[in-house]
């Protein structure tokens, strides 16, 4: 028995499991999972809330920048009758809960909206029309992959209706046929990936005219997992852009860093001053500000190289380059200063000039000393590219993926969580890798 234990202890797996880094990793994993599950739960709750039997929700989703006061009405003959929702402060994402009340619980055939001041009513429009409030009704209940619609806007009772999932003809497919009655649940299974999200539910009695008065804001089962599952190509594209921006800017910044560092180590006071001033100013000013300033300067020039390197991307790269150059120069400086003074002395004692020793002996060793910190600089630049969203989401780096997903699904939190997890995985494993390489560099030396 004892020998078995000894054997067990000798295995690589045992050593690995009991190692400190593994324990740290598992700890982080458990914390991460807990958060993940909590968030997941949160997502579900939101959906359940929308299934309260006697309510349905209308969401305002397409208000241009300025929020305003609006009235939501329905039409009875020629008259617009307000739904009791007047003087509503609406902006994108505002949800309005309607209750089935006496006399009103027939639902609304078509909802109309009006600016509170003008009182000129217009029907709710397709989401593509930016000019209007897009008011949509939602009636959703989700049971795993099935989605249940509570049908509220059909006046006639007991009718066979066909349901469709998109307002765009080419994308449209039938998602269900049901006999509907007012307030009756119509249940659809959405199993195919195509049907997972939808921007619209239209219904038709005769398969020809699709009525869109049941427009639904795409109620998306907003859990972290589903967001990731459905949008992972977007996330990975975002990640690729982020990594590309980071790697390009850090790589270029290395050269700037070395030049600045050499300037600081030179004997010329002017060069020293220029380099020191550059480094101190850049390090003393927020990157976001640098980014915006460069964008403002470069913006009008509309320079671009190919389709990827737009003005925005170039501004972003330039700002990261300028910023990272300053930090790299400090990294190199401390790396070079950490080189044993004896190396320079030995070189000088042989009759080599200061620069000859610098270039052949000290700087190569200094750069080697700096490699781990340069890796860490890459890690922090990976995170700092997220500031690029504030210049322009069109850059398409990881952080801006959230905007795109929110635009499509009207959910905010889960994509943020997915992005956080991706950032964490990349940076955490990168720093671990760097730590590992650092250790190897050190063991090679001794």
Partner 1 sequence: MNTNYNDEYIIKVTNLYKNYGQNEVLKGIDLTVKKGEVISIIGSSGSGKSTFIRCLNLLGEPTAGKIEFEGNIIYESNTHHLKKELEEFKKNNSDYKTQEKYKQLRKELKESRIHDFKQSRQIDKTINVHRQKIGMVFQHFNVFNNLTVIDNITLAPMKTKGISKEEAEKQALELLEKVGLLDKAKEYSLKLSGGQKQRLAIVRALAMNPDCMLFDEPTSALDPEMVKEVLEVIKRLTQTGMTIIIVTHEMGFAKEISDRVIFMDQGIICEEGTPEEIFNNPKNARTKEFLSKVL
One of 334, 354, 406, 427 touching partner 1 (CB under 8 A): 354
- Return the range that interacts with partner 1 (CB under 8 A); candidates 170-178, 270-278, 351-359, 386-394: 351-359
Residues 179-208 within binding reach of partner 1 (CB under 8 A)? none
> What DSSP string describes 153-209?
---SSSEEEEEE--SSGGG--EEEEEEE-TT-EEEEE--SGGGSS-S--EEESSSSS
Question: Residue 45 or 446: which CB sits closer to partner 1?
Answer: 446
Stretch that binds partner 1, among 16-24, 53-61, 268-276, 346-354 (CB under 8 A): 346-354
274 binds partner 1 (CB under 8 A): no
User: What is the closest distance, in whole angstroms, from the C-beta atom of residue 241 to partner 1 in the complex?
Assistant: 36
- Among 155, 345, 439, 441, which residue sits at the site for partner 1 (rule: CB under 8 A)? 345
* Token duo for residue 222: 């907003």
Q: What are phi and psi of 156, to 5 degrees?
A: -70, 150
Could you tell me if 163 and 178 are in contact, meaning their C-beta atoms sit under 8 angstroms apart? yes
Asked if 351 is part of the footprint of partner 1 (rule: CB under 8 A), the reply reads yes
Q: Which is nearer to partner 1, 247 or 441 (CB)?
A: 441
Per CB under 8 A, the list member of 48, 268, 340, 429 interacting with partner 1 is 340
Among 347, 372, 396, 414, binds partner 1 (CB under 8 A): 347
| Cβ at position 366, least distance to partner 1 in Å | 10
Indicate the residue among 128 and 364 with the shorter CB distance to partner 1: 364
Label each residue of 7-49 as H, E or C.
HHHHCHHHHHHHCHHHHHHHHHHHHHHHHHHHHHHHHHHHHHH
Rule CB under 8 A: choose which of 283, 304, 348, 440 binds partner 1.
Answer: 348
371 binds partner 1 (CB under 8 A): no
Going by C-alpha positions, the residue among 397, 373, 402, 371 that lies closest to residue 386 is: 397
For CA atoms 14, 15, 18, 19, the dihedral sign is: negative
Cβ closer to partner 1: 171 or 360? 360
* 266 scored as a contact of partner 1 (CB under 8 A): no
**Using rule CB under 8 A, residue 268 touches partner 1:** no
How many residues lie near partner 1 (CB under 8 A)? 21
Place of tokens 């003393």: 284
Query: b or e along 116-126 (b: 16 or more beta carbons within 10 Å of the residue's beta carbon)?
Result: eeeeebeebbe
Q: Which long-range contacts (CB under 8 A, 24 or more apart) does 259-263 make?
A: 259/329, 260/325, 260/326, 260/328, 260/329, 261/328, 261/329, 261/330, 261/332, 261/333, 261/336, 262/358, 262/363
Contacting partner 1 within 417-446 (CB under 8 A)? 444-445
- Binding residues for partner 1 (CB under 8 A): 340, 342-343, 345-354, 356, 360-361, 364-365, 368, 444-445
């Amino acid at each position: 028995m004892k020998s078995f234990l000894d054997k067990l202890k000798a295995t690589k797996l045992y050593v690995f499991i009991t190692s400190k880094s593994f324990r740290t990793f598992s700890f982080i994993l458990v914390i991460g999972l807990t958060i993940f599950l909590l968030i997941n739960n949160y997502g579900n709750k939101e959906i359940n809330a929308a299934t309260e039997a006697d309510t349905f929700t209308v969401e305002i989703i397409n208000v241009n920048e300025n929020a305003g006061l609006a009235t939501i009405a329905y039409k009875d003959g020629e008259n617009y009758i307000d739904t009791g929702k007047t003087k509503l402060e609406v902006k994108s994402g505002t949800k309005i809960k309607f209750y089935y009340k006496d006399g009103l619980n027939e639902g609304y055939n078509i909802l109309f909206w009006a600016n509170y001041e003008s009182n000129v009513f217009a029907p709710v429009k397709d989401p593509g029309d930016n000019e209007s409030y897009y008011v949509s009704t939602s009636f959703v209940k989700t049971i795993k992959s099935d989605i249940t619609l509570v049908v509220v806007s059909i006046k006639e009772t007991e009718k066979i209706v066909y349901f469709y999932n998109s307002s765009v003809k080419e994308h449209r497919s039938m998602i269900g046929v049901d006999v509907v009655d007012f307030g009756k649940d119509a249940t659809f299974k959405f199993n195919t990936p195509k049907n997972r999200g939808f921007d619209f539910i239209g219904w038709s009695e005769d398969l020809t005219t699709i009525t869109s008065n049941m427009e639904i804001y795409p109620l998306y089962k907003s859990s972290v997992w589903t967001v990731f599952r459905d949008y992972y190509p977007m996330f990975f594209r975002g990640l690729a852009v982020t990594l590309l921006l980071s790697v390009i800017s850090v790589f270029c910044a290395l050269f700037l860093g070395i030049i600045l560092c050499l300037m600081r180590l030179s004997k010329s006071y002017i060069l020293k001053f220029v380099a020191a001033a550059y480094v101190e100013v850049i390090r003393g000013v927020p990157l976001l500000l640098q980014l915006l300033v460069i964008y403002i300067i470069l913006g009008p020039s509309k320079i671009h190289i190919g389709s990827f390197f737009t003005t925005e991307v170039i501004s972003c790269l330039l700002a990261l380059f300028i910023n990272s150059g300053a930090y790299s120069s400090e990294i190199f400086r401390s790396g070079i200063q950490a080189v044993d003074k004896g190396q320079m002395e030995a070189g000088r004692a042989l009759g080599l000039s200061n620069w000859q020793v610098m270039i052949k002996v000290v700087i190569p060793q200094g750069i080697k000393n700096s490699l781990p910190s340069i890796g860490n600089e890459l890690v922090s630049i990976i995170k700092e590219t997220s500031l690029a969203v504030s210049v322009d989401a069109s850059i398409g780096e990881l952080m801006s993926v959230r905007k795109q997903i929110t635009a499509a699904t009207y959910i905010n939190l889960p994509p943020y969580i997915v992005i956080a997890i991706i950032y964490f995985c990349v940076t955490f494993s990168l720093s671990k890798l760097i730590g590992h390489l650092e250790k190897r560099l050190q063991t090679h030396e001794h």
